[in-house]
Amino acid sequence: MEDMLFYDRMQFAFTITFHYLFPQLTMGLSLMIVYFKWKFLKTKIDKYNDAAKFWMKIFALNFAMGVVTGIPMEFQFGTNWAKFSELTGGIIGQTLAMEGMFSFFLESSFLGLFIFGEKLLGHKLHFVTGFLVFLGSWASGFLIIATHSWMQHPVGYEILDNGKFILNNFSALFTNEWLWPSYLHNQAASLVTSSFVVAAIGAFYLLNNKHDEYGRLFVKTGVVFGLISSLIVAFPTGDLAAKNVVKHQPVTFAAMEGIFESEEGGAEIVLIGQPNMIDKKLDNKIAVPNILSFLTYQKWDAPIKGLNEFDEKDYPTNIPGLYYAYHIMVGLGTIFIGLMLIAAVQLFRKKLYNTKWILWSLMFMLPFPYIANTTGWYTAELGRQPWLVYNLLRTADGASPTVSAGNTLFTLLGFIGLYLLLGLLFLMLVGKIINKGPELIKH
């Protein structure tokens, strides 16, 4: 049973990690495309329109990859997690169906019109189609995170005698106090990814002395959007999301921060340390006194509960993984703010485009927002374990009892091979678009 559960979780973790490489770019990029098109309507300068069409091509490739990798992931609800689907389908099925029926079709329909319909529609209606693509992508994220938020903090439900969950308050799904901080945090993080991608491609053009006009536009836009979104990820959205964890999942918060023993006179914030699960302590830690208490409760001496306050059977099942995922996310987020702030200062001083070390840094940082987003989601998912629905349905009780570990491992290996090929094909196609550049897009 343990092997089966392990491979079920590994398969879902792999498929959803690979899948989310694509929506995290499209959600943020859709807003930036709308900005470029709006800027063109306002100024009538062609480079903004070319930029919108250039990035929509990359958006379309990401969207296609998201669809292809998202379908197998959803089938796992009926194969590996059939018991979970049977018990909770009356609730999560509603938001997932709404995401597919409304958001996905809105996004995909108007994506085609944006790519192929500019001459037919005219620029104003072309802008509207771009805005509807943005609306569809952000609505899709909202409905997915509404589902996830219910699993983290279940509301508006009733459990029948047969163990099935039913929804007795539909509006509770969308007024869940876990939802809005998580959603805004996620969308801001997606905008961080798209900002770094746009800035990195712009830096690549400037460093290679090609498409200079577009290079400057992309670097400037990426830095401005990147600084704003990086700050929003940290505060207020990250702060509010963390306070939800403190309030509703205190054992998860203790594990995230590596607090093994309760700290009554003010809790320190750990910058570096390694969880020692045998001795139940952090090894080689570097910490700043009282900061965690202040950030959490705005009081320097506020007590923080440690893992010793909770039953071990309710501990997150992978405390070191949770701790490292959380600290990687926070550490990278801090670096993003610092780099974008320095770049913004140089932009204001009109020296950014000639400051090569910043351009190299922007280009080098391209993969790291993807890592930060992934570790952020790992923090949320590892933090909820050992529960599928927090405090109500354990992960072990949601797996399909009839799917063997060997079958799951075999299909996992198949997914790894197939996704490797898809990933290489995607990189080749995106590379061709970037190398060709926006200047060669015909009006």
Q: What is the mean pLDDT of residues 333-341?
A: 98
What value does the mean pLDDT take over residues 313-339? 97
The answer, yes or no, to whether residue 175 has pLDDT greater than 90, is yes
The secondary structure element, H or E, covering residue 57 is helix 46-75
Listed in sequence order, the residues at least 6 apart from 45 whose beta carbon sits closer than 8 Å to its beta carbon are: 39
Q: What local confidence, expressed as pLDDT, does residue 265 receive?
A: 83
268 DSSP β-pair partners: none
Question: Within 153-249, where are the H helices?
Answer: 172-175, 179-207, 212-232, 239-248
In Å, what is the CA distance from 142 to each residue of 23, 27, 286, 409? 12, 11, 38, 32
3-class DSSP state of 420: helix
Tracing tokens 């990687």 back to the chain, one arrives at 328
* CB neighbour class for 28 (10 Å; exposed up to 12, middle 13-18, buried from 19): buried
Continuous segment of H or E residues that includes residue 292: helix 291-297
pLDDT at residue 54, rounded to an integer: 96
Residue in 240, 256, 260 with CA at minimum distance from that of residue 383: 256
Mean pLDDT of 143-149: 97
Mean pLDDT over 316-325 rounds to 97
pLDDT at 62 exceeding the cut of 90: yes
pLDDT in tens, 384-428: 999 999 999 999 999 998 899 999 999 999 999 999 999 999 999
- Please, which pLDDT band fits residue 1 given cuts at 50, 70 and 90? low
Q: Which amino acid is at 147?
A: T
Given a cut of 50, is residue 443 above it in pLDDT? no
> What is the average pLDDT across 156-182?
96
Percent of the chain at pLDDT > 70 equals: 99
Q: How many CB atoms lie within 10 A of CB 422?
A: 14
pLDDT tens figures, 116-145: 999 999 999 999 999 999 999 999 999 999
Least confident of 31-45, 205-219, 429-443: 429-443
Instruction: Please give the pLDDT value at position 440.
Output: 57
Which residues contact residue 411 at a Cβ distance below 8 angstroms, ignoring those fewer than 6 apart? 11
CA-based nearest residue to 319, from 294, 285, 282, 284: 282
Question: Among residues of the chain, what percentage have pLDDT more than 90?
Answer: 91
pLDDT in tens, 242-293: 999 999 999 999 999 999 999 988 899 999 999 999 999 999 999 999 999 9
* Spatial separation of the C-alpha atoms in residues 443 and 109, rounded to whole Å: 23
Residue reference for tokens 């923080």: 304
User: Over 80: is that where the pLDDT of 439 sits?
Assistant: no
pTM metric for this prediction: 0.96
Residue 152 gets the label, from left (phi > 0), alpha (psi -120 to 50) or beta, of: alpha
Distance CA 248, CA 278 (A): 27
Contact 263, 304 (CB under 8 A): yes
Reported as a single tens digit per residue, the pLDDT across 301-311 is 999 999 999 99
Residues in a beta bridge with 165: 159
Q: Is the dihedral of CA 51, 56, 61, 62 positive or negative?
A: positive
